C-alpha cells in the first residue's frame, strides 16, 4: 500500500498515514529508532498539509511517547503539549486528551514536579471514568495516583487509589502483569505502614504472577529480594535465606 501511495503522491496525506502506521508496527516490535524515522516522515507531511488536524496531534503524541521511553523528557513535554493543544481544540473531552494528559503527568513525575503530575493524572482519570468507568485505562490512572500519593507520604490516600485499581484489574485481567505491579505497590504501602504480615502476603502473590508471566525478569528478582528483606524484618531468618 505504501509503495502505491508513494507512486501516486509521495508527499500526500495517504502516504503520511502509511508512514505513521509503519511507525506504530515498528514501535510495537521494539524498534524505536526506525519507528521514530517513520513517525517523523508522517509528521513532516501532516505539518505541511494539515497543521491543526487530529492526525498531526497523533504524530506528535506518538513521538512524545517515544521520547518518554528514551527518557528525553524535555522533548517529550514539548511534543505532548503540542498534541494536547490540538486535541483540546479539535476533540475536547476525548480519550485522546486523557492519554496526552496522562503522559504529560508521567513527564512531570520524571521532572520531580509531583503536584503538577497529580493534577494532570487526575484530569486524565476524570475523562477516562467518563468514557469507560471500569476499564483497565482507569485502573492505570488509579494506580498512578496511588504511586504519586505514596511518594508524597499520603499512605492512606495511596491505599484507596490502589485498592480501586486492583479491584478493576482482578476483575478484567486477573492474571495480568498489571495485577502483579499493583500488588507490589500495595505491599510497599503495607511495609511502610509497619504491616509486615500483609506486605509478605502481597509480595508472595505478586511473585507468583511474575514467575508465571515474566520468569527470570528483573521484576521477579526484585520481588524475591524484597521478600527476603521482609522475612528478615519479621524475624523469619530461615525463610529469608
Residue 209: how many other CB atoms lie within 10 Å? 22
Calpha distance 52→40 (Å, rounded) = 16
pLDDT score at 4? 45
pLDDT of 192 reads 95
pTM, 2 dp? 0.86
CA distance 155 to 107: 23
Q: Distance (Å, rounded) from C-alpha 181 to C-alpha 146?
A: 12
| Residues of the chain falling short of pLDDT 50 | 4, 8, 237-238, 240-241
In the numeric block, the cell 503530575 is attached to 117
Q: Which of 16, 91, 78, 84 is nearest to 47 (CA)?
A: 16
Under 8 Å CB-to-CB from 229, ≥6 apart: which residues? 240
Terminal CA-to-CA distance of the chain, rounded, Å? 59
For 82-97, how does the pLDDT look when each residue is reduced to its tens digit (9 = 90+)?
999 999 999 999 999 9
Asked if residues 150 and 185 have their Cβ atoms less than 8 Å apart, the reply is yes
Amino acid at each position: 500500500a505504501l509503495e502505491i501511495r508513494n507512486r501516486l503522491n509521495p508527499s500526500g496525506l495517504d502516504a503520511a498515514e502509511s508512514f505513521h502506521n509503519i511507525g506504530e508496527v515498528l514501535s510495537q516490535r521494539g524498534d524505536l529508532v526506525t519507528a521514530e524515522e517513520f513517525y517523523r516522515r508522517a509528521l513532516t507531511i501532516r505539518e505541511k498539509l494539515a497543521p491543526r488536524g487530529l492526525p498531526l496531534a497523533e504524530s506528535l503524541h506518538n513521538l512524545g511517547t517515544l521520547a518518554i521511553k528514551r527518557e528525553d523528557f524535555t522533548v517529550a513535554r514539548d511534543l505532548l503539549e503540542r498534541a494536547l493543544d490540538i486535541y483540546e481544540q479539535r476533540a475536547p473531552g476525548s480519550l485522546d486528551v486523557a492519554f496526552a494528559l496522562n503522559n504529560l503527568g508521567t513527564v512531570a513525575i520524571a521532572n520531580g514536579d509531583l503536584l503538577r503530575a497529580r493534577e494532570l493524572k487526575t484530569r486524565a482519570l476524570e475523562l477516562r471514568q467518563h468514557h469507560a468507568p471500569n476499564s483497565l485505562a482507569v485502573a492505570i490512572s488509579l494506580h498512578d495516583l496511588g504511586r504519586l500519593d505514596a511518594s508524597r507520604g499520603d499512605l492512606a490516600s495511596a491505599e484507596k487509589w490502589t485498592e480501586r485499581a486492583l479491584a478493576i484489574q482482578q476483575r478484567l485481567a486477573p492474571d495480568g502483569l498489571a495485577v502483579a505491579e499493583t500488588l507490589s505497590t500495595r505491599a510497599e504501602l503495607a511495609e511502610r505502614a509497619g504491616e509486615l504480615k500483609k506486605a509478605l502476603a502481597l509480595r508472595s502473590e505478586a511473585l507468583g504472577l511474575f514467575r508465571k508471566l515474566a520468569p527470570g525478569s528483573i521484576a521477579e528478582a526484585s520481588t524475591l529480594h524484597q521478600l527476603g528483606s521482609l522475612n528478615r524484618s519479621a524475624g523469619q531468618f530461615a525463610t529469608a535465606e
